[in-house]
């Protein structure tokens, strides 16, 4: 770990790596793949706590002997933060720009270290900051990280499938209690503005009802659906950002970055159903368990390929672009295009339509 930046020249080109936003399964796998793909032709520096580490000269020199120790661990060995002067998200999922003075300080640190480029692993908030840095003269390559799978331009982000697997396993466990006690078991999962985790885990886990932000739900219609089933037990998946008729999204508080904290839709639905004699409902909030622990086999493979593709982009000097996965291929798209809008579930798309055809109710 270093706190000062050397001005000494080096024969090798230098690059930096940062990760921003919440932790996510696969972060360490991506960084290890980058380092193994570029070492020893490049000097590689990892900056602690996202862009804060670059600005404040807080970094570690990376090589395969270091990164391989963390390759399949969850979280991130570089630490991360959703706060500080680079916090890219604020309000109800909105984005904010970083002060020009902070950007200038960061650019100076980048120049002092003699970096050729900066590889940024992050979601929409982090990538908005990456766009600012690119405009300020810092060469940036993006890698899409999000358990919510809500970054546009890529079919899937690393970390998403692990979150789905965890939620699916939780549903498998809740189903046994639902059956044994003739209960309605509700699982609340993450998903502020995009219901990908709820939709995928709900279909994979055999849920009877799925509530997601993209489809306004009505508790009365959910109760009506459950009453007319031939079984008393049921499984319900509810995204934390699900929009409920006459209630909107349920706000449970605020974070230190002034972002509204969503949550409580599962408890609210359980309370509503428990008003009626025919229902006995219980709610479980999965919370941060979804983003913790080791990446799944799928995410290890995906993360390694994301990292390798980012390394290729370094060698080809493909800056201002983000690695994306499309049609079984790894290519790139401009970062600006990928953060222009969130990728959300299409209410009329194939997966929702097929789920409805199979008898899954969406509260609408």
pLDDT digits (tens, 9 = 90+) for 125-171: 899 999 999 999 999 999 999 999 999 999 999 999 999 999 999 99
Question: Of 148, 165, 193, 267, which one is the catalytic site residue?
Answer: 148
pTM of the model: 0.92
Q: Is 148 a catalytic residue?
A: yes
- Contact between residue 62 and residue 78 where contact means Cβ atoms under 8 Å apart: no
H helix count then E strand count, the chain: 12, 15
Q: Going from the N-terminus, what domains does the chain have, and what CATH number goes with each?
A: 14-158+295-338 (3.40.50.450), 161-292 (3.40.50.460)
Q: Which of these ranges, 27-36, 82-91, 183-192, 293-302, has the smallest mean pLDDT?
A: 82-91
> What is the model's pLDDT at position 258?
52
pLDDT above 60: residue 1: no
As a residue count, the chain comes to: 364
- The secondary structure of the chain in percent helix, strand, coil, rounded to multiples of 5, reads 35, 20, 40
Q: Strand (E) positions, the chain?
A: 14-19, 43-47, 59-62, 89-90, 94-95, 115-122, 140-144, 184-189, 209-211, 234-239, 251-254, 260-262, 281-285, 321-326, 329-334
């Amino acid at each position: 770990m270093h706190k000062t930046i050397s001005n000494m020249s080096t024969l090798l080109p230098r690059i930096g790596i940062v990760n921003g936003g919440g932790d996510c399964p696969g972060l360490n796998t991506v960084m290890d793949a980058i380092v193994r793909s570029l070492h020893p032709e490049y000097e590689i520096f990892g900056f602690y706590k996202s862009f804060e580490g670059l600005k404040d000269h807080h970094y570690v020199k990376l090589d395969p002997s270091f990164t391989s120790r963390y390759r399949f661990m969850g979280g991130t060995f570089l630490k991360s933060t959703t706060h500080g002067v680079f916090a890219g998200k604020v309000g109800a999922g909105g984005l904010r720009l970083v002060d020009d003075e902070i950007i200038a300080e960061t650019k100076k640190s980048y120049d002092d270290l003699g970096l050729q480029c900066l590889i940024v692993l992050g979601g929409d908030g982090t990538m908005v900051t990456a766009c600012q840095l690119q405009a300020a003269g810092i060469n940036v390559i993006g890698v899409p990280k999000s358990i919510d799978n809500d970054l546009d331009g890529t079919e899937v982000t690393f970390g998403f499938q692990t979150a789905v697997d965890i939620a699916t396993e939780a549903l498998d466990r809740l189903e046994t209690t639902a059956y044994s006690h003739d209960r309605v078991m509700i699982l609340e999962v993450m998903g502020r503005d995009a219901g990908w985790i709820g939709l995928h885990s709900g279909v994979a886990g055999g849920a009877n009802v799925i509530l997601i932000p993209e489809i306004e739900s009505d508790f009365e219609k959910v109760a009506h659906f459950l009453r007319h089933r031939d079984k008393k037990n049921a499984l319900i998946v509810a995204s934390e950002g699900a929009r409920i008729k006459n209630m909107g999204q349920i706000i449970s508080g605020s974070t230190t970055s002034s972002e509204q904290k969503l949550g409580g839709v599962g408890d609210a639905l359980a309370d509503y159903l428990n008003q009626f004699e025919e229902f006995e409902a219980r709610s479980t909030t999965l919370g941060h368990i979804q983003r913790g622990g080791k990446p799944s086999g799928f995410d290890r493979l995906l993360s390694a390929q994301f990292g390798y593709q980012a390394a290729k982009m370094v060698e080809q000097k493909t800056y201002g672009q983000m690695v994306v996965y499309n049609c079984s291929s790894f290519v790139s798209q401009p970062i600006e295009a990928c953060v222009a809008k969130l990728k959300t579930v299409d209410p009329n798309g194939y997966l929702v339509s097929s789920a409805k055809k199979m008898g899954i109710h969406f509260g609408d």
